[in-house]
Amino acid sequence: MTQQSKIILWSRKGCHYCDEIKEFFGKNEYEYTVVDVEGKDHLRDILELKYGIRHVPVVEIGFNYTFRGVIEKDFTLIESLIAGRDITVR
């Protein structure tokens, strides 16, 4: 991989799935930024506009200001996007 991916995790405290993704990122030594949506309806509004959902976790992975959102807990897809492989939407 010639360029570094940027990883953003939309999360909230007490979210079991969010914690699983954080553990996955830590185990694989992925650097990521957390956007905490707890009590912040304006951030959930952004998720709704972007992905049609208001729940977390949402993982956004991008290169050069182009991001792809993952709204399911699919570690294979997340790893592929981090590695920069183009994944066809199913």
Q: Under a CB-based contact definition with an 8 Å cutoff, are residues 13 and 56 in contact? A: no
Q: Under a CB-based contact definition with an 8 Å cutoff, are residues 41 and 34 in contact? A: no
pLDDT (tens digit per residue) in 44-83: 999 999 999 999 999 999 887 788 999 988 999 999 898 8
Residue 84 has what pLDDT?
Answer: 81
- Count the neighbouring beta carbons within 10 Å of the beta carbon of residue 74: 13
Write down the pTM of the prediction. Answer: 0.86
> Mind listing the domains of the chain with CATH numbers?
6-82 (3.40.30.10)
